[in-house]
Each structure stands twice: as C-alpha cells, then as structure tokens.
Amino acid sequence: MIATIISERKKHYPVLLNEIISIITPQNGGTFIDCTFGQGGYTKKILEFSNTKIIALDRDKDTKKIALDFEKKFKTRFLFKNKKFSEINDLDLRKEKIKAVIFDLGYSYIQIKDPKKGLSFNTFGELNMKIGLNNFSAKEVINKLDKKDLEKIFKFFGDENDSKRIAYKIIKERKIEEIDTQKLVKIIESSKRKKNYKIHNATKVFQALRIFVNKEISELIYGLIHAAKIVDEGGIIAVVNFHSLEDKIIKYFFRSLSEIKSVSRYMPHTKERANPFKLINKKPITPSAKEIKENPPSRSAKLRFVIKEKNIPNFKTDILDKFNYLIKIENYSEKLWKNYF
C-alpha cells in the first residue's frame, strides 16, 4: 500500500507550472496563496525562490500529511489550512500583501485512483466523491434525489444528452436495490442511445455528480470573488481549469472586472468607470506539445489570469446573478441535508 502511494506520487505533474511561474514571478519575492495545495507542486516551486511565503489551502484532509513535510522544511515560510475556496476570506491576512492567488481545478491521479474517494467508475470503491468538508455523498444523491433533480444535475453539470433516460432508469432500479458504483455504470451504459467512442459512457454523469457533491460551482465563484478582494494592487489571480463549464465562469468573471461595459450613445457622457483588473490575454494559455506528451491528462488544461490594477474595495460583479441557475441546482443538496434532522 505504501509503495503504491510513493510510486503514484512520482507521477504527479503540476500542470502548466512553467507558465504559472512566469506569470506570478516568485523570483521577486512575495506572499502567495495556493488554493489547491494537493501534492504541493506549485508551492514547492515557488518556495525555491528566496523571500517567498506560501499560504496553502486544500479541502482534502489527506494533503495534511504532505503539508507537514513542508512545514518542517520551510518553517514560517509555509502555512497550511484545511479549507475550501469559499473560506479564503476567513484567513487572517492583515499583515500580508498577497502577490498572487493560484487555483488548479484539476484532480490528482492519486485522488482519482483512491477507492475511498470513489471518484472513478473504474474502481470498486463506494459511490462517494467527497473530497473533504462535505455533508453528503454521491451515493445519497443517486439513491434519494428525485428524477427531475437528477436530470438537471446530469444535464447542466455533465452536459449529458441522455440525462432524462438515465434519471428514469435510476429511479426504477433503486426501488429494487440500492445503487452502488458498478450498478450506476451499468444503468448509464444501458440508457445511452449512442455509444461514445471518445470517452467512457459514464464520464459525464460521474463528472456531474462530483461537481454537485463538492459544490464546485459555488466554491469556484466565491473563491474568485474573495481572491479579487484580497490580492494586492499589482497582484495576480491565476486559474487552471479542465472543463468548459469552469472555463465559462472564469472567463466571464475576469472579463466583467476588466472590461468597460458598453453604454448607449444617447446617454450623457460621464467619466469612464475604473476597472479593478486588467486582462492581458483574452485567449487561455494551453499546455505545450512537450507537456502533453509527458503528462497526457494536461491536454484539456486552460490557464487564465488577470492583474489587479486598482484597489477598489466595493467593486461590482454580477457573477452570482449570471450563474444563479447553477447555484440553485447545487442547492438541491439541502433536501439531503434536511434528512439528517
């Protein structure tokens, strides 16, 4: 067991590492927040430069073991907190000037292959998907939520075309017996009208469940809002994402804070509104052919970043209104939470 973990750790590649480093420039020193500490890939590289400090976050309690090694080696230059994105504003940053906030929204090979986490349809672990600091599991979602709720989760979080057929079959089958990982995979495969030859038939449903269980949409949105408030003037928010829904949210948020909204030519001329952030590249940065060859899962990665030009304490953003329909779907989880009381 130990040998397996060590072997898999060697396979961990921090995605777009060189590009991240060139953007946040740790060689010039500063305090950085790594919101997805994981295996410590970004953090380790940043701390190689003198006069740097890392505040690392991760909701996965298993990362605490790795964090302890960093604490022993880097002492006061490294601080770890077992927190979610939405809890960034709970950090005591009164004495800190944050040079950059970094998010890597991917999951490590170790997490995916861990049967206890139940993220993969290729394992015989429990239908779980809880990364950490969760209130419910995917097993509860599948076996307790109603047909319409399941349909929306699969459709909006997984872009699953056969969401209705799959939800119907789940409701039918769970009346006979409780649904586990392998049973769910069989239900999905039997419900698909067309076989997908590019990805496994269960990929989209499992992605949707993972997003729902971990409230990834709400966490990302609140994480971005908090990051925009705490990063110092001249600082950077950098986000690596891996699927279109995440990218859509990040892209919208960055543009909303960096572009002057168009106004009618019939409106009286007023002083232009100051934008708190500057968007350098409208198109995302993607991995090189060399990186994709060394680490094939990186092929879907996209890196977007913005630079804070002005400290505007009460900046306006409509991101919560824009993606409220997704947050409402995530809040179906309240139906599960009520079952505990």
What amino acid is encoded at 22 in this protein?
S
Please state whether beta strands 302-308 and 52-57 pair in parallel, antiparallel, or not at all (unpaired).
Answer: unpaired
CA atoms within 13 A on the CB side of 31: 16
Q: What span, in angstroms and rounded, lies between the C-alpha atoms of 220 and 105?
A: 9
Q: What span, in angstroms and rounded, lies between the C-alpha atoms of 294 and 80?
A: 29
Q: What span, in angstroms and rounded, lies between the C-alpha atoms of 209 and 141?
A: 8
User: Which helix H or strand E contains 307, and what residues bound it?
Assistant: strand 302-308
Q: What span, in angstroms and rounded, lies between the C-alpha atoms of 98 and 32?
A: 6
Q: Is the pTM higher than 0.85?
A: yes
Per-residue model confidence as pLDDT tens digits over 77-117: 999 999 999 999 999 999 999 999 999 999 887 777 787 77
Q: What is the pLDDT of residue 333?
A: 94
Q: What is the pLDDT of residue 272?
A: 52
Nearest one of 123, 128, 140 to 182, comparing CA atoms: 123
Query: Can you give the residue ranges of every domain in the chain?
Result: 2-108+217-326, 110-214
Which of helix, strand or coil describes residue 172? Answer: helix
Section 319-338 average pLDDT:
93
Q: Please name the residues in contact with 82: beta carbons below 8 A apart, sequence gap of 6 or more.
A: 57, 58, 59, 61, 63, 64, 132, 133
Q: How many CB atoms lie within 10 A of CB 172?
A: 11
pLDDT exceeds cutoff 90 at 184? yes
Superfamily of domain 2-108+217-326: Vaccinia Virus protein VP39 (3.40.50.150)
Q: Which of 72-76, 114-118, 248-252 has the lowest mean pLDDT?
A: 114-118
Q: What is the pLDDT of residue 313?
A: 78
Q: What is the pLDDT of residue 314?
A: 81
Q: What span, in angstroms and rounded, lies between the C-alpha atoms of 284 and 268?
A: 36
**Tokens at residue 226, please?**
């908090």
Q: Please name the residues in contact with 269: beta carbons below 8 A apart, sequence gap of 6 or more.
A: none
Q: In whole angstroms, how large is the CA radius of gyration of the chain?
A: 21
**Tokens at residue 335, please?**
């139906």
Q: What span, in angstroms and rounded, lies between the C-alpha atoms of 150 and 209?
A: 9
What amino acid is encoded at 339 in this protein?
N
Tell me if the domain spanning 110-214 has CATH number 3.40.50.300. no
Sheet with 78-81: strands ordered across: 78-81, 52-57, 30-34, 98-104, 231-241, 302-308, 277-279
